[in-house]
Amino acid sequence: EPEVTQTPSHQVTQMGQEVILRCVPISNHLYFYWYRQILGQKVEFLVSFYNNEISEKSEIFDDQFSVERPDGSNFTLKIRSTKLEDSAMYFCASNSQGALYEQYFGPGTRLTVT
């Protein structure tokens, strides 16, 4: 069964450094999402992406964040200058039909900012 993959599984970085989290969505999916979960807290929406542009973003998704689909398979989340509070689990998700349909989640990338 096709699945969403994410790399790396765990990333440790120093405050102020740039990180890129990578996702490979399911191949025929057209809608892509990033979510964040700070340890012990709920999962929060960051951004949705369709047709090579951002569809919606949350208040969390400020100028430090950017997303890109550099080729036909990868979907990346970049944090330009990481802060301690960016430490969280980051989940990528995708679906084929956008609104009102279930999203398929990747296994997540645990980001630790020291």
Question: Which residues of the shown chain bind another protein in the complex (CB under 8 A)?
Answer: 31, 33, 35, 37, 41-45, 48, 55-56, 58, 89, 91, 93, 98-105, 107-108, 110
Residue 18 vs 56, nearer CB to another protein = 56
Q: What is the DSSP letter of 25?
A: -
55 versus 74: smaller Cβ distance to another protein: 55
CB of 107 to another protein, least distance (A): 5
56 vs 68 by CB, closer to another protein: 56
Q: Smallest gap, in angstroms, from Cβ of residue 27 to another protein?
A: 19
CB 111 within 8 A of CB 13: yes
Contact 77, 21 (CB under 8 A): yes
CA atoms within 13 A on the CB side of 65: 20
Query: What is the three-class DSSP state of 54?
Result: strand
Q: How far is the CB of 60 from another protein (least distance, A)?
A: 12
Residue with tokens 């025929």: 28
